[in-house]
């Protein structure tokens, strides 16, 4: 057993608005100037910390916009989010659910607070990840995975004090709900007071965790508080988590994609020429049509 040590624990960076509905803290790549390769295949982590959303007759969010070359993964912890895209996919993401959208060759989408939730208001909390695609898959056909609570499997192998929801990858023979283009482990872990869990990832995997609720003791040495992100070294394989009070943690780990990266706004490609072509294709209507 070799410990995968914590490299640093990061508090939430100053919040900024995405559209008029999401107040997010960016942990990478811009929030702390973390290299866009450091958490590959994860390119971006935006976190809307727990907040009280005031009622609104008009749902707030982000209007129609394009993506190419990667996947968006939206995880709802409180509140509801409505999604629509130019391939005809529509869905509502409720608490504990995940929307995994593969933009790939190009898609338009929009996301707002769900209408009934918007009118009522209430607690809202979510995470959005951008997951890079290998070059060979960047121009594949877009797809959409609605990962409901009924689909996401849960493991309680450790103890009744621990529940591991496997979004992607495989945890102790419990398979993840999402299909992925590169090796990814993505778990929501709930720990009751006194709960302990052991995790194991290859040393070369880029690994981090975000504390959604409560706090956890990592490897019996480092304490990570709510809304903080722990970044791990690329040495060692084993991580232990312990909660002195109820806690919820998002764990992300994956095999890095060792390819050139070119990014511009909503496009994530391998070269500037591919970025220019993405802009041309978007402007010429090749991403389809979606009404705002």
pLDDT in tens, 143-173: 999 999 999 999 977 689 999 999 999 999 9
pTM above 0.85, yes or no: yes
Indicate if the pLDDT at residue 35 is higher than 80: yes
Please tell me the CATH superfamily of domain 6-253, with its number.
Jelly Rolls (2.60.120.10)
C-alpha neighbours within 13 Å on the C-beta side of residue 113? 28
CB 97 within 8 A of CB 73: no
pLDDT in tens, 227-267: 999 999 999 999 999 998 999 999 999 999 999 999 999 99
Report the pLDDT averaged over residues 76-95.
Answer: 96
pLDDT in tens, 194-218: 999 999 999 999 999 999 999 999 9
The H-assigned helical ranges of 212-284 are: 272-283
Would you give the end-to-end CA distance of the chain in angstroms?
Answer: 53
Helix, strand or coil for residue 194? coil
* Mean pLDDT for the chain overall: 96
Indicate if the pLDDT at residue 184 is higher than 80: yes
């Amino acid at each position: 057993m070799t410990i995968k040590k914590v490299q640093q624990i990061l508090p939430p960076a100053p919040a900024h608005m995405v559209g008029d509905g999401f107040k997010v803290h960016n942990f990478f790549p811009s929030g702390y100037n973390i290299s866009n390769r450091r958490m590959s295949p994860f390119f971006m982590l935006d976190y809307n910390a727990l907040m009280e959303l005031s009622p609104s007759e008009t749902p707030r969010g982000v209007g129609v916009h394009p993506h190419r070359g990667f996947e968006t993964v939206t995880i709802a912890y409180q509140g509801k989010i409505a999604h629509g895209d130019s391939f005809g996919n529509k869905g509502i993401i409720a608490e504990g659910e995940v929307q995994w959208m593969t933009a790939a060759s190009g898609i338009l989408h929009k996301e707002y607070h769900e209408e009934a939730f918007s009118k009522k208001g209430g607690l809202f909390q979510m995470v959005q990840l951008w997951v890079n695609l290998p070059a060979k898959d960047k121009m594949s056909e877009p797809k959409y995975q609605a990962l409901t609570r009924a689909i996401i499997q849960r493991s309680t192998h450790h103890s009744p004090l621990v529940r591991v929801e496997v979004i992607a990858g495989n945890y102790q023979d419990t398979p993840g709900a999402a299909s992925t283009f590169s090796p990814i482990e993505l778990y929501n872990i709930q720990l009751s007071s006194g709960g302990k869990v052991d995790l194991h990832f290859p040393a070369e995997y880029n690994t981090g965790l975000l504390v959604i609720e409560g706090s956890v003791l990592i490897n019996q040495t480092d304490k990570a508080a709510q809304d903080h992100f722990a970044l791990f070294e690329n040495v060692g394989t084993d991580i232990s988590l312990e909660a002195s009070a109820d806690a919820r943690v998002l764990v992300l780990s994956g095999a890095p994609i060792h390819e050139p990266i070119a990014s511009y706004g909503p496009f994530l490609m391998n070269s500037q020429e591919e970025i220019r072509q993405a802009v041309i294709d978007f402007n010429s209507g090749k991403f389809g049509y979606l009404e705002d």
